[in-house]
Amino acid sequence: MNSRSPVGKAGSLAYVSTPGRVADPEEGISLEELALAARNHGLPLEALRYDVTPPGLHYVLVHYDIPYVPPAEADMWTLTVRGRVRTPLTLDLTALRSLPSVTHRVTMECAGNGRARLTPRPVSQPWLVEAVGTADWTGVPLRRLLAEAGVEPDAVEAVFTGADHGVERGVEQDYQRSLTLADAMAADPEVLVAYEMNGAPLPPQHGHPLRLVAPGWYGMAHVKWLRDITLTDTPFAGFQQAVAYRYRRTPDEPGDPVTRIEPRALMIPPGFPDFMSRTRVVHPGPLRLSGRAWSGRAPVTKVEVSTDDGDSWELAELAPSDDGHAWSWRRWHASWTAAPGHHTLTARATDAEGTAQPLTQPWNRGGFGNNLVQRIPVICLEP
């Protein structure tokens, strides 16, 4: 059930999916891409103001349909833990809630964030820069569940299966991703089997009633509507691991896996917007520029701001890092004295591994990990 190959006859899955492609140079966004943009959504950038993103403002990307779980059935949702374990587990939500829980504040970002700004543009969910959000996730540490089940010595990966079901590139599947056993058992970042977002049950679109949360990883790793965890003695080769979510320049190369979040800074667009162009309008004088910065690889150590489209940069002030929230974004701010005319504002994050956001974009065919700096056009009015 989890994976079927396409077959060639009429009324078969071969007719359901079109091949992956990049758009022609002059091609606008297609209605198919728009259908994804209309149902999924990003963080309105002014919502960078919230330390913790309210549901409905946090980005959402759903591959297939949001599974419907009637309220009366949520407590009976079961998670199985099986495969290369000594004692397979079957836990319903009530049992999971009775285990010791932890809460992690995690900044989550879609691996495809920035895709629609690439040239040529990979055709898929067309994010600009807004596919991000930060939430407090509460649940049971995965390593504690696996310890309870007893990991067999030959286990190498944990495979996570969600209840969302669909077709992608001709392959019918339940959404599945894996982590290495080392990542699954790590103390930091600590992976959670989460049942609360911001202190409330998960909203439907965020995995109600149960999801994986893998701090530091792009969104594809945080399997929603989590039903099963299977430990395997071979690496997982399912669609979302081996076919999708690979950094590739050509369609046929195996590519490198998409894993942790690349560093990024986003600025709260200052002033007020034009409805259609989203161009920002400010009045002359001193302004405080602020925003957030994060990396899924290492703590952000530096944010630089440019108000002249990258010709010159100055250091922003980073808010103190909160030791309890190593995998959450950091607030930053800088000062700017706006003068009448047109300006382009931008910000650039660097993390403790020395990785900085690029000023020109390396390209890959899936449009993954595109952390090119944000550019905000601003018009400062005459006094």
d(CA 248, CA 256): 7
Q: Which stretch binds a copy of itself (CB under 8 A): 126-134, 155-163, 218-226, 364-372?
A: 126-134
Q: Which stretch binds a copy of itself (CB under 8 A): 57-65, 211-219, 222-230, 300-308?
A: 57-65
Of 6, 120, 166, 310, the one binding a copy of itself (CB under 8 A) is: 166
| 381 binds a copy of itself per the rule CB under 8 A | yes
Please state the closest distance from residue 92 (CB atom) to a copy of itself, in A. 22
78 vs 205 by CB, closer to a copy of itself: 205
Please state the closest distance from residue 227 (CB atom) to a copy of itself, in A. 16
Q: 42-48: which pairs have CB atoms within 8 A and are 24 or more residues apart?
A: 42/127, 42/128, 42/129, 42/130, 42/131, 42/132, 43/130, 43/131, 43/132, 43/133, 44/130, 45/129, 45/130, 45/266, 45/267, 45/268, 45/269, 46/268, 46/269, 48/266, 48/267, 48/268, 48/291, 48/292
| 25 binds a copy of itself per the rule CB under 8 A | no
User: Residues 357 to 376: which contact a copy of itself by CB under 8 A?
Assistant: none
**Six-digit token pair at 305?**
């701001």
Please state the closest distance from residue 209 (CB atom) to a copy of itself, in A. 13
Spatial contact of 145 and 229, defined as CB atoms under 8 Å apart: yes
Of 180, 272, 321, 322, the one binding a copy of itself (CB under 8 A) is: 272
d(CA 161, CA 3): 12
| 17 binds a copy of itself per the rule CB under 8 A | yes
Of 124, 176, 346, 350, the one binding a copy of itself (CB under 8 A) is: 124
User: Residues 31 to 50: which contact a copy of itself by CB under 8 A?
Assistant: 31-47, 49
Of 256, 274, 314, 353, the one binding a copy of itself (CB under 8 A) is: 274
Neighbour-count burial of 360, counting CB atoms closer than 10 A to its CB (0-12 exposed, 13-18 middle, 19+ buried)? exposed
**Which helix or strand (DSSP H or E) is residue 120 part of?**
none
> Pairing state of beta strands 132-141 and 78-83?
unpaired
Find all residues with CB under 8 Å of 149, minimum gap 6, and list them.
81, 82, 85, 86, 87, 88, 89, 231
| 5 binds a copy of itself per the rule CB under 8 A | no
Q: Which stretch binds a copy of itself (CB under 8 A): 12-20, 184-192, 255-263, 306-314?
A: 12-20
d(CA 37, CA 20): 17
Q: State the number of binding residues for a copy of itself (CB under 8 A).
A: 76
| 233 binds a copy of itself per the rule CB under 8 A | no
Of 76, 102, 281, 359, the one binding a copy of itself (CB under 8 A) is: 281
Please state the closest distance from residue 331 (CB atom) to a copy of itself, in A. 14
Please state the closest distance from residue 15 (CB atom) to a copy of itself, in A. 6
For residue 197, report the phi and psi dihedrals to the nearest 5 degrees: -120, 120
| 201 binds a copy of itself per the rule CB under 8 A | no
| 9 binds a copy of itself per the rule CB under 8 A | yes
Of 62, 212, 213, 267, the one binding a copy of itself (CB under 8 A) is: 62
Please state the closest distance from residue 354 (CB atom) to a copy of itself, in A. 31
Of 276, 311, 320, 324, the one binding a copy of itself (CB under 8 A) is: 276
Find all residues with CB under 8 Å of 72, minimum gap 6, and list them.
none
| 89 binds a copy of itself per the rule CB under 8 A | no
Q: Which stretch binds a copy of itself (CB under 8 A): 58-66, 135-143, 144-152, 312-320?
A: 58-66
Calculated CA dihedral for residues 268, 207, 200, 60, nearest 10 degrees: 20
List, in sequence order, every beta strand (DSSP E) within 96-241. Answer: 102-109, 132-141, 157-168, 171-180, 192-197, 200-201, 211-213, 226-232
Length of the chain, in residues: 383
